[in-house]
Amino acid sequence: MKEFRKILFDNYRNGQGEISSGAVYDDVRAQWPYYEVNYRRFLKNLPKDGVFLEVGSGPGSLLSWLNSLGYENLEGVDVSPGDVAFANSHLGREIIRLGDGKEYLKKNTDRYDAIFMKAILEHQPKEDLLPMIEAAALALKTNGILLIDVPNMDWLFASHERYMDLTHETGFTRESLTSLLRLLFEDVKVYGSLLVNPTRAQKWLRKPLIRLLRFIFYILGEGASDMLFESRSIIAVASIFHKR
């Protein structure tokens, strides 16, 4: 890892993490509603005694949510010493290891029923994307799933997401994320993230506004009307690994 990136990640807990996601450090449950709305449906076919891994577990919010649902065989890996210490302190046990996600995956072939990567791939240099995904694919059990959640570069305010973090390296749209995952998986589905607890005004105005914007994009042409602009993040679920 280059020196500047290493310094940024070594100080991520009290630097970028605190700046961008301060609420979750105050209360790790702050992100639970997002997981309920966007991830819960993908857990229904996974065994309760399955082994789950989160790569880039940060403050440990996702793992704590999974634990609250009764999943106990949980693991995490993260490059930020501060985040690892913080997460393990509230999880109550040494669930999360300090280390490189790709190298950790390589050591655990055919081990996991599910691997989660939330807000991780955008931090990877482009040349590291395929090796990371391949390591994850090999670490999954036969019927395991890989869930990836990244900022959506088609979102109307995507430039903020892209440049808010100095460790961001790569941006994704629905098309590019699908293209990457299809190199290694037969079954790939990509969704736009859903709003958490939308207000009454959002429920009434959101659909007409989206239709209006799509019409404007249609007038602009060049396939713009097919952009997934209304979701801040894109979530991919991949399964059925095939070797290249």
Per-residue pLDDT of 141-186, as tens digits, reads 999 999 999 999 999 899 999 999 999 999 999 999 999 999 999 9
**pLDDT single digits (tens) 90-124:** 999 999 999 999 999 999 999 999 999 999 999 99
pLDDT at 1 over 70: no
Nearest to 191 by CA among 233, 145, 222: 233
Q: What is the mean pLDDT of residues 132-140?
A: 97
The answer to whether residues 116 and 46 touch, using CB atoms and an 8 Å cutoff, is no
Residue found under tokens 């403050």: 59
Which token pair is 162? 């892209």
List the chain domain ranges: 3-197+232-241
The predicted structure's pLDDT at residue 240 = 83
The predicted structure's pLDDT at residue 147 = 98
The second-level CATH assignment, the architecture, of 3-197+232-241 is 3-Layer(aba) Sandwich (3.40)
**pLDDT single digits (tens) 214-244:** 888 888 887 777 889 999 999 999 998 875 5
Sort 223 into a burial class: Cβ within 10 Å, 0-12 / 13-18 / 19+: exposed
The predicted structure's pLDDT at residue 129 = 98
**CB under 8 Å, gap of 24 or more: what pairs does 225-231 form?**
227/154, 227/173, 228/152, 228/154, 228/173, 228/174, 228/192, 229/154, 229/155, 229/156, 230/155, 230/192, 230/206, 231/152, 231/155, 231/191, 231/192, 231/193, 231/194
Which token pair is 163? 């440049």
The predicted structure's pLDDT at residue 243 = 58
